Amino acid sequence: MIHVFVPYKVRPDAVETVKEIVGKFISQIEENEPGTLLYKSFQDAEEPTSFTHVMSFANPEAETLHKKSSYCREFTDVLYPLCEIMPKPMLQNEIH
């Protein structure tokens, strides 16, 4: 299994837009990616402009399907211009 955390920070005026596009994005993932076992988005309780996405893929093929999807491209095309700190995927190893 592949686990990835993706933290990023957006401009204060973009928070509501980001929350809207994240919701749509996750719905598309749930509808189209059976190999994406988990996809969650978290907003920092103390710093509302900071977000982290947490995802788990069944295998490398599932991760590739996610990355190459049209809705992933559409999401990043809107998200990236709103960021103060760009998303940085961090591969995680599960220890238990």
- Domain range for 86 is 2-92
Sole residue written with tokens 């961090």: 90
Residues whose CB falls within 8 Å of the CB of residue 95, separated by 6 or more in sequence, listed in order: none
Number of domains making up the chain? 1
Cβ distance 41 to 53 under 8 Å? yes
Using one digit for the tens of pLDDT, what is the confidence trace for 18-30?
Answer: 999 999 999 999 9
Tens of each residue's pLDDT in the chain, 96 residues: 999 999 999 999 999 999 999 999 999 999 999 999 999 999 999 999 999 999 999 999 999 999 999 999 999 999 999 999 999 999 999 998
pTM attached to this predicted model: 0.93
DSSP 8-state class, residue 49: T
pLDDT above 70 covers a percentage of the chain that reads: 100
CATH (domain of 13):
3.30.70.100
Put residue 15 in one of left, alpha, beta given phi > 0 → left and psi -120 to 50 → alpha: alpha
